[in-house]
Structure 1
Amino acid sequence: RIHRLRWQTAIQKKSLNPVYEERFEAEVREDEIWKFMLNVEVFEYDKFSRDYSIGVLHFPLRGLRLGDGRTFWQDLKPAKQDSLGEILFTLNYLPTAEKLTVVVIKVKDMTNQSIIFYFLAAMFVKVCLVQHHKQVKKKTRLHKIAPEIVLNDSISFDLPHEHLDDVRAILFLCIPQYTSRSGSIRYDVLGQVMVGSGCRGPGQEHWIQMTRSPRRPVARWHLVT
């Protein structure tokens, strides 16, 4: 039988060196401690998007004497991100007009099992421009889901030049769901990609390339997670 206990700390804001001082306890027999492993995952909290996994730690308790309450420092390892496919889009910033244009070109390799359920449905991409606690949302047209989808839809936002370093764009792959009783429409999010301020890896690199190449569309493939 597998025993799993989960805990979550409070959210620490505006700190690169957060201090928690939180305590979690579990009853474990001393002669069974060797069977257990402590898994720790650190997340960057995002109010408007999914929490981003910064890193993970798998710490086996085998061979440890824990009665004295020892303290351990351990390095985090990058978390494995499950890909739901890839999306190709361009970023283009016009400094004179102070406009950001996102052109969603193509989505491919949508082979995840959760997507197969929707295979005869349509999808769209919602783009959210987020700055601090404000966000502006726009979306593409509906497109039929296929292993490879060509969209070529353009979305533009007003974006003053001084805010380029404190804004991010989140692209959500969405499936519309129609509610028969009220006739209203809601949507399920299949996955997302984030670029801009506070991002890492490709999301940061794509944004920097755009800021260094004004008036020129910069294209890049991103993994959808």
Structure 2
Amino acid sequence: MIFFTTLSLSFGEIQLLFSEKVEYSILGISALLFLIALCLLIWQIYRYCMLFPVLQRADGVLPKSGGFQYGTQTRDSKMEVHYEELSHQLSPGSSCTNLGSSFDLDSMVDLEEEHIQGSLRFSLFYDQLQARLVVTVLDAQDLAVRDFSHSVDPFVWVRLLWAEREDEEQGSLHSVLHEWQTRLVKKSCSPVFGDQFSCALAEKEVSRITVKFEVRDFDKYSRHGILGEARVPLNSLKISYPLELRKDLQVPKKDMVGEALLSLKYLPTSQRLEVGVLKIRTVCHPNKTERALYARISVTCNQCKLRHQRTTQKKRWEVTVFNEVMTFVLPDQQIRECSILVSVFELQPSKKSSKHLIGTIHLKTDKTSENEHWKLMMQSLRQPIAKWHLILI
């Protein structure tokens, strides 16, 4: 009994060592640490909301149906837009990995026979004070999946197409002013992107711009597939305030970016095919710096590239004259099954690794206008046959 009493007295003596001042100090430090933790939590939530504004839906979100409509102005439309140049913006001198580099437009299968489904949500805004166009890719929904993997790895390729004529007549040529790509979202049929891109653009040029969104399926070991496209001409929209739209994906269409005068000649005795690049006409935006052009000719048989050659670089004009002929040795059987791909590239002579694809021409034996040129070549052996072809992208 004496032993326990001693312990109780000792414990009481220890408790008396802490004065009232010390107790209030410990309580104050605890409250301060709690406030610091609360502030950090609020800051992290604020950063999350700013980096992913797509997760905060406004009251006036457009319905899932196709087409576009003018949205009501909400708090989100009053937010300050940050013109931050993202690291994945495509620039001619960029050395970063390009998700679209392994995609070949002429290898695209006939998507009209495939099932195109899904929609894409994005927003457009033109800041008149800073003369900048802001494009934000928000999300996609209900994308088609691949049959063999039952999944899809989507990303979005964005192009600003500048029309040669302001009235957008049929047959008008276009020039690609800027290209961007969003980040890759793996294994998602309804991916959330939230990527924002911006560029300087004069107000008088806005009416000539068409924004083209191409949703692609990433493939590491082959060519990227196309899940559909959505395009919006800016001449029909009022984008002085941020405008959010949702568009159903459509079958991709190629755009005319130029034309080329090509010549074909086949010599059956020596089994030689001669492809001549005579002239190339392209549309170039007046504000673009000095550029050079060259063409690469590839011969393909049964989807296997046999050989290729390229022209010399020429300074880019409205009509660039080459007058160069490339010779390919092909057996008689291959000449009847092969196809020719002419790829036109532009580059800046002052920069290294600035190659940029303008468009392509595909000459093959099918029911197209290019087939007519091929038939004329086979009917007029040993004679060069020249014909204009559209450059498409």
TM-score (norm 1): 0.62
Secondary structure at the residue paired with 2:269?
coil
Deviations 1:99-143 (A, max 9, x none): 0001111011x1154x9635x121111001111323311001110
Partner of 1:157: 328
Aligned length: 178
C-alpha contact 2:295 2:311 (8 A) present in aligned 1: yes
What do you get for the CA RMSD once the two structures are aligned?
A: 4.1
1:36-115 superposed matches below 5 A: 80-108=253-281, 110-111=282-283, 113=285
**Separation in 1 of the partners of 2:387 and 2:254?**
18
- 1:191 alignment partner in structure 2: 359
Q: Deviations over 1:60-96 (max 9, x none)?
A: xxxxxxxxxxxxxxxxx99643111110010000000
Report the structure, 1 or 2, having the larger helix content.
2
Judge conservation of contact 2:292–2:349 (CA < 8 Å) in 1: no
1:134 equivalent in alignment to 2:305:
yes
> Which amino acid letter does the alignment assign opposite residue 192 of structure 1?
T
Letter in 2 for 1:217: P
Identity among equivalent positions (%) equals 22
CA distance in 1, matches of 2:224, 2:265: 25
**Measured at CA, do residues 49 and 194 of structure 1 come closer, stay the same or move farther in structure 2, by a change above 3 Å?**
farther
Show the counterpart of 1:210.
377
Matched-pair contact (CA < 8 Å) for 2:261–2:279: yes
**Unpaired runs of at least 5, structure 1:** 13-20, 27-40, 42-46, 57-76
Larger radius of gyration: 2
Contact 2:291-2:349 within 8 A present in 1 as well: no
Q: Distance in 2 between matches of 1:49 and 1:104?
A: 27
Q: Distance in 1 between matches of 2:389 and 2:226?
A: 15
Contact residue 93 and residue 215 of structure 1 kept, 8 A: yes
8 Å Cα contact 1:195/1:207 also seen in 2: yes
Partner Cα separation in structure 1 for residue 356 and residue 314 of structure 2: 15
Aligned partner of 1:122: which letter?
Answer: A
Aligned to 2:34: none
Query: What is the alpha-carbon distance in structure 1 between the residues aligned to residue 147 and residue 372 of structure 2?
Result: 27
